[in-house]
A = this chain, B = another copy of it.
Amino acid sequence: MTASETDDRLSAQFAFLNEADRLKSVLRATTLVDGSRRENSGEHSWHLALYAMTLADQADPAVKIDRVIRMLLLHDLVEIDVGDVPIHSKGGTAHGSTDTQEAEAKAADRIFGLLPPDLAAEFRALWDEFEAAETPDALFAKSLDRVQPVMANLMSGGGTWVEYEVTSEQLDQRVGSKIAKGAPRLWDWVRAKTRAWFEP
């Protein structure tokens, strides 16, 4: 690679990294564990990657944790354009809507498109895999993405469950079933704690 090609490549790499900074300003419905403020999607992504490192033994043996970590680092970048869609909003229906999915795919085109083509393709493939939620790596990543806000709600006194008047059955349906797919023992353990919160 010539010096000028390296320069162009670095310009594209930093165009992406500087744009990614905006994820720190996207606010989620969930608060921090101490309830002091709403969490942003940048720090959420960090926490999830740390979840993957820490809870690796809860994954199926086929799961490659380093791929899960990379997936989780990228998974929310589309929210820079689309914002966070809270899982319990609109009676739990907004999250997987066709409108949301189309807007997110357009955002992925734009944001990963800032990168040099090889990296754009690599990152986009990881994001597509996460969204499709079919491979063992993606299923485990999805489980962690679902379990972290449950823990934040438990720690902070109910959080979005109170805000959106969520029932224990709705939590099982919208969240628990997805955690159980990628990390069944983890959901058993967490579910016992949510039961105690919903039926004290």
- Which A residues lie at the B interface, using CB under 8 A? 6-7, 9-10, 13-14, 16-18, 20-25, 32-34, 36, 39-40, 42-43, 45-47, 49-51, 53-55, 57-58, 66, 69-70, 73-74, 115, 119, 123, 151-152, 155, 185-186, 189
Q: Are A6 and B54 in contact, with the CB atoms below 8 A?
A: no
Q: Are B25 and A32 in contact, with the CB atoms below 8 A?
A: yes
- Out of B46, B54, B70, B152, name the residue touching A45 (CB < 8 Å): B46
Given the complex, which residues of B lie within 8 Å of A152, measured CB to CB? 21
- Also in contact, A10 and B186, with CB within 8 A (given A43-B42, A49-B73): yes
* Distance of A182 from chain B, by nearest CB (Å): 15
Bound complex: CA A54 to CA B74 (Å) = 11
Bound complex: CA A25 to CA B21 (Å) = 17
13 contacting pairs across A/B (C-beta < 8 A): A6-B185, A7-B189, A13-B55, A16-B54, A18-B155, A21-B33, A24-B32, A42-B47, A49-B73, A54-B115, A54-B119, A66-B66, A69-B70
Given the complex, which residues of B lie within 8 Å of A189, measured CB to CB? 6-7, 10
Given the complex, which residues of B lie within 8 Å of A10, measured CB to CB? 58, 186, 189
Residue among A43, A55, A123, A151 facing the most chain B CB atoms (10 A cut-off): A43
- Out of B22, B45, B57, B119, name the residue touching A34 (CB < 8 Å): B22
- Out of B6, B17, B74, name the residue touching A47 (CB < 8 Å): B17
- Also in contact, A73 and B55, with CB within 8 A (given A18-B155, A43-B40, A185-B6): no
Q: Are A17 and B69 in contact, with the CB atoms below 8 A?
A: no
- Out of B6, B34, B70, name the residue touching A21 (CB < 8 Å): B34
Given the complex, which residues of B lie within 8 Å of A40, measured CB to CB? 43
